[in-house]
Amino acid sequence: MDQPLILDRYRPLEDLASGGFGDVVLAYDTRIQRRVAIKRLPLPQSRFGPRTTPAGLAEARTAALLNHPAIVTVHEWDTDSDEAFIIMEFIEGPSLADVLDEIGALDLDTAAAVIESVAGALEFAHDNGVLHLDIKPENVLLTRDGHPKVADFGIAELSTSTGHGPAVGGTLGYMPLEQLRGESLDERTDVWGFAALCFELLTHANPFASESIEGAVFKAEIDDPPAPSEFDSSLPPEVDDILLAALSIHAFDRYTSVAEFAHRLLAYLGDPAIGRENLAELAAEFAGESEHTQADWDHVGLWDRLIRFGGLARRLAAGLASAWLVWSGIGVFDLKPGALAGAAALAAVAGLLAPGLGTAIGLLAFVTGLAFGGFYVLAGAFALAGGFMWWFVGRKGAALSGALLTPALGVARLAPAGSLLLAYEVTMVRATLLGAYAGALTMLASAASGGRAPYLDIDWRFFLDPLATRVTAGGLRELLSTPAPLAVIAAWAAAAAIMSLFCRFASRAAAVGGGFFGMLALYGGYSMADVIARSLDASATWSGELLLPHLTASSILVVLVIAAGPPLRAEEE
């Protein structure tokens, strides 16, 4: 099932891993049009209920933003109400853990290539004041061309402050004694973890692995670590001495830096250049077996691919709505065409640059035009409704523009689709307000253009001169002669609320269900309006054959929109 967007941007595609430091998902970045890996770490709750920001978040964010060829790139780091999100480049190749499980210990050339790259990443991090604290095969990934990259810088520190990691972050089997005990740490802590990784690369064994912190402390403090040559007698004896020195119990007995340790160790290993060729071959073999094929993109619809243009589209809509409102409102003042067009153009620019401001200018101009045209009651009602909608929906974005432009769909008999499409990517409360407002505007526009019940037909010429008083006055009187419009407004609001509720599941199937039940709500509302109107005037007709063409055409449009992709819904609290 499709899932809501993460941070209003990332479409989850597949779960990649789950562990003590949180879950990792493969996702599609709808703005940059690429796949990313997202690590999700739940944030703890305070005693009083609200989520708290981890103490190590700032330090961990700094650590994660290291920029080095051998470090997995972090594109973004953010939080919402209950999770921290680390947005990383997606490395499609295997981890060293996968490689070791498949082929066992690495030959000296391949091990040298890995150790050289990992040492470079750690040295760069240490030069920038960052410790990794969780060096292990799972955190070293191979790109498709075989380049090793170290992942999860800063995650161990963050995991400690959120209560997700044992001791001070890290993984049992790759933590020295001071880390297991929660004592102060420095670069020599990573030297020990890196040495444990090198031990495993050369022997496919980790003598420090344990199921508990107590067991790991015992192995680190009491047991003497075995020499690597006990697992592979072909290893040079100097490798034993170098690795055992780096794995000393006390930090002051170890090498003072990763660079010094790696320099000494690499002198007795193979040729890194040959090793890099071997890694490229290994990565190619794993790439052929990769589960992340084109099928991963099945959940990526057209709207996901177009969402990067969403902001521009909303601003264009706001500009168009603002320009039309100003054009219509001040048109009653008999201005010269050039002045009228100039005012509309300025409103369009305001809507493009600041949608909330442009919409406010447009609404004010339109209300002024209504009042100047003698429609005092309508001007007051429009001012109250428009002001309410602008304050709660439109002042911080372009959402209100969709409702303002919905009457234009009536020219093509598609107006009812507006109530459903407005709800496609907004929360239920906002959808309900927008649906009710769009329904009221559609009926008013239809009546003002000479339409009759069920007030869905809109003459395109209405948009050129919406305040033509002879047509407007008579049509509005007929529309407002019964309480039937209230049933229609309620139906539009209900349809939008239903669609929004179903779209919370962020799947095409759920959106289809929302569209179906939303259309039923619309039909029920118009039927109720028909009953109300007929009870007052036997000749009045609000539904039946006059309504069905609009609902049919709107249903087709809604289905086409849904087919283009699942709803663009952010995760909701």
Q: What residues act catalytically?
A: 134
Three state DSSP letters for 32-80: CCEEEEEEEEECCECCCCCECCCCCHHHHHHHHCCCCCCECCEEEEEEC
Helix (H) or strand (E) holding 448: helix 428-448
CB contact set of 48 (below 8 Å; sequence gap of 6+): none
> Nearest CA to 460 among 404, 417, 414, 412?
412
Q: Which residues pair with 150 in a beta bridge?
A: 71, 140
The one-letter amino acid code at 188 reads R
Dist CA 140 CA 88 (whole Å): 14
The one-letter amino acid code at 571 reads E
The one-letter amino acid code at 317 reads A
> How do 83-89 and 74-79 pair as beta strands?
antiparallel
Tokens of 219: 């192995």
The one-letter amino acid code at 252 reads F
Dist CA 413 CA 99 (whole Å): 60
Dist CA 326 CA 469 (whole Å): 17
Cβ atoms of residues 154 and 164 within 8 Å: no
Cβ atoms of residues 455 and 431 within 8 Å: no
Length of the chain: 573
Q: Tokens 């109107």 — which residue?
A: 533
Sheet holding 83-89: strands in order across? 10-19, 22-29, 34-42, 83-89, 74-79
The one-letter amino acid code at 246 reads A
Cβ atoms of residues 539 and 402 within 8 Å: no
Q: How many CB atoms lie within 10 A of CB 210?
A: 18
* Local structure of 78: helix, strand or coil: strand
Dist CA 444 CA 447 (whole Å): 5
Cβ atoms of residues 510 and 502 within 8 Å: yes
Dist CA 557 CA 541 (whole Å): 25
Dist CA 245 CA 225 (whole Å): 11
Dist CA 84 CA 55 (whole Å): 13
The one-letter amino acid code at 510 reads A
Dist CA 203 CA 234 (whole Å): 10
Tokens of 331: 């048109």
Dist CA 492 CA 445 (whole Å): 15
Dist CA 31 CA 438 (whole Å): 29
Cβ atoms of residues 28 and 35 within 8 Å: yes
